[in-house]
Amino acid sequence: MRLPAVIGKYRIEEYLGGGMAEVYRAEDSVLGRRVAFKQLSPAGVADEAVRARFLEEARVGGQLSHDNIVRTFDYGDDHGQPFIVMELLEGKSLATRIKAGDLGDFRERARIALEIARALQYLHARQILHRAIKPDNVHIEAVTGRVRLIDFGIAKSQGMNLTQAGFVVGTPFYMAPEQLMGTPIGPATDIYAFGLVFFEVLTGRRARPADTVERVLQQIINDPVDCGPLAECGVPEPLAAIVRDATQSDTSRRTADFGVIVPQLENWIESQKAATAPTVILRPTARRLQLSHTLMAGAVAAVVCGLVVGLLGVSVARARLPQGRAMVMPVDEMAAIPGGVFEFEQDRRKMNLAAFQIDRREVTNEQFAAFCRLKHRALPNGFHEDWPGQPVTGVTIDDARAYCFAQSKHLPTEMQWERAARGTTGARFPWGNDSDESRANCERGRGHLVSADSMKSGASPEGVLHMIGNAAEWVDQPLQPSLLALEKFANILKPPATDGEPWYMIKGGSFRRSVAQSAADLWLPAPGRYTADDVGFRCAK
């Protein structure tokens, strides 16, 4: 394909790689977002089995919606060449991270395994086997560290069989004995592959060390997995036990399902957090925030103040909360959001979302200050040290992500944020469809931030506060800016914002916007480096 090219509404910009299917970086000209455009090559079109698997990948991917699975947006055909449009991921494969020895401590490695396990648990609940679990098919995002399962080319739905007799489908190093013996495969097959991948994550080496395919196949049939290297690498026993149980050759002795593995990993990670969590003492006093300038003026002022601070040589990191009555920083309280179908965006599409948790309150000044001290980070420009209990603002999306990551959480996705704010019925506000100004801290209310624990009459169905108004919130949803957005930010940021830098979504409005402008199905675009005194965040997990 000669680039750039246009196929339907997609502008194809850059070749990323491929074989029987070729992958390109592209732009959706209607929605204004960058995507991965995967098109079957002429050779792939000519191969009936390859074409069938490509169509199955599109069909399976199109019905999935999970934080740890790559999203499929569209499917089409260009003059006989089928294509799939997917989420464009930035980062590295798990295989690359393992090879580089860049996986962190055992707690971080367990987190990676947990997110893989959650994705597979979600698939199995929908009667889908992945059948190609390997480090190359696990993607780790560059900034957030979020894990994404990719490549559903040989995924198998219940009642669907694309495997020819005598033909082995899968990657030999991660195959289970039943795949070679001709016996029925099921969820246990993915569990076995998961165990081998987790072995590699923990030790940095493959569980099957043979250097030829023939020898690997012999080992799979004749030899149990040698878990000795786990002990040699100092792997904690609870994690080693997960690997041992998942890689039993006999399926009757193998871990039954990911409903066992997921809580095992969650409990171990929580035990490590409890064992290492420091006690943080803060000494706040109270004062209300009085702000009257506009969003544009506030943003420009933030930039100017940053320049002045730099010129004067003042270290923002040395800012301290004032003396007063000692208070232990409150533990984040999270609301449990059940999984299931809900109505999404303005067109109220029916979407299926896995269960998750989200902070009931916006992250506050004292919580963020404690994080900055522990991590030796500078406080945000214009940080108000004497306003405890109020949402922290003036943070970039990277600041917000770093805080969430330190709590073993992440920024909410667009779907998570909307589900937490709207409930399941697609209401425009947490309390319903009426723009009740008494329930949110918006433009016609107080004219300043208020406590993150206030205005409980505006809570969502699961009790989440200030999803509308108070501080607008960063959401982990990349965007392609419109010309109007570029013009808006041209004079706010220095250097001026461009469409080549990362842009993200801000949702929920703020105390400067009306209730109608803050509805849960609306959003604003902003460059990731943007800061404002009415933009904050909350965490999810």
Per residue in 8-59, pLDDT tens?
999 999 998 887 889 999 999 998 889 999 999 888 899 888 888 888 888 8
Query: Which position has the higher pLDDT, 297 or 539?
Result: 539
pLDDT at 320: 36
Q: Residue 413: CB partners within 8 Å, gap ≥ 6?
A: 67, 475, 476, 477, 540
Mean pLDDT of 402-408: 89
pLDDT at 219: 85
Q: Residue 141 falls within a domain, yes or no?
A: yes
For 151-163, how does the pLDDT look when each residue is reduced to its tens digit (9 = 90+)?
A: 875 655 544 333 4
Read off the pLDDT band of 484 (50, 70, 90).
Answer: confident
For 182-206, how does the pLDDT look when each residue is reduced to its tens digit (9 = 90+)?
A: 777 889 999 999 999 999 999 999 8
Of 51, 68, 87, which one is at a domain's C-terminal end? Answer: 87
Q: In this structure, are 40 and 133 located in the same domain?
A: no
Q: Residue 172 falls within a domain, yes or no?
A: yes
Mean pLDDT of 283-301: 35
pLDDT at 154: 60
Mean pLDDT of 62-73: 88
pLDDT at 316: 32
Mean pLDDT of 325-345: 70
Mean pLDDT of 240-263: 94
Q: In this structure, are 452 and 350 located in the same domain?
A: yes
**Between the CA atoms of 121, 125, 128 and 132, what dihedral angle is there, to the nearest 10 degrees?**
10
Read off the pLDDT band of 529 (50, 70, 90).
Answer: very high
Of 63, 87, 111, which one is at a domain's C-terminal end? Answer: 87
Q: In this structure, are 70 and 101 located in the same domain?
A: no
C-alpha to C-alpha distance for 384 and 364, rounded to whole angstroms: 11
Helical (H) or strand (E) element with 22: strand 21-28
Q: Residue 540 forms beta bridges with which residues?
A: 358, 410
pTM over 0.75: no
Q: Which domain holds residue 9?
A: 5-87
Q: In this structure, are 75 and 134 located in the same domain?
A: no
Give the mean pLDDT of the chain.
83
**Max Cα distance, the chain (Å):** 75
Query: Which position has the higher pLDDT, 187 or 280?
Result: 187
CATH number at residue 230: 1.10.510.10
Mean pLDDT of 383-410: 90
CATH number at residue 21: 3.30.200.20
Q: In this structure, are 160 and 251 located in the same domain?
A: yes
Q: In this structure, are 414 and 532 located in the same domain?
A: yes
Read off the pLDDT band of 180 (50, 70, 90).
Answer: confident
Residue 322 has pLDDT above 70, yes or no: no
Phi/psi of residue 216, each to 5°? -60, -45
Phi/psi of residue 14, each to 5°? -150, 135
Read off the pLDDT band of 272 (50, 70, 90).
Answer: confident
CATH number at residue 385: 3.90.1580.10
Of the listed ranges 98-102, 124-128, 164-168, 190-194, the least confidently predicted one is 164-168
Q: Residue 161 falls within a domain, yes or no?
A: yes
Q: Residue 364: CB partners within 8 Å, gap ≥ 6?
A: 388, 389, 390, 391, 392, 452
The answer to whether the beta carbons of residues 185 and 177 sit under 8 Å apart is no
Residue 290 has pLDDT above 80, yes or no: no
pLDDT at 59: 84
Q: Residue 112 falls within a domain, yes or no?
A: yes
pLDDT at 164: 35
If one counts the domains in the chain, the total is 3
Q: In this structure, are 469 and 519 located in the same domain?
A: yes
Residue 396 has pLDDT above 50, yes or no: yes
Q: In this structure, are 311 and 428 located in the same domain?
A: yes
Q: Both tokens of residue 143?
A: 């900034």
For 501-526, how does the pLDDT look when each residue is reduced to its tens digit (9 = 90+)?
A: 889 999 999 999 999 889 998 999 99
Query: Which position has the higher pLDDT, 235 or 386?
Result: 235
3-state secondary structure 416-451: HHHHHHHCCCCCCECCECCCCHHHCECCCCCCCCCC
Of 243, 276, 309, which one is at a domain's C-terminal end? Answer: 276
pLDDT at 288: 29
Q: Residue 385 falls within a domain, yes or no?
A: yes
Q: Residue 217 falls within a domain, yes or no?
A: yes
Residue 214 has pLDDT above 80, yes or no: no
Q: Residue 469 falls within a domain, yes or no?
A: yes
Q: Residue 541 falls within a domain, yes or no?
A: no
The answer to whether the beta carbons of residues 379 and 317 sit under 8 Å apart is yes
Q: In this structure, are 321 and 429 located in the same domain?
A: yes
Mean pLDDT of 326-336: 57
Q: In this structure, are 65 and 105 located in the same domain?
A: no
Read off the pLDDT band of 235 (50, 70, 90).
Answer: very high
pLDDT at 171: 62
pLDDT at 445: 62
Q: In this structure, are 67 and 165 located in the same domain?
A: no
Q: In this structure, are 265 and 302 located in the same domain?
A: no
Residue 349 has pLDDT above 70, yes or no: yes
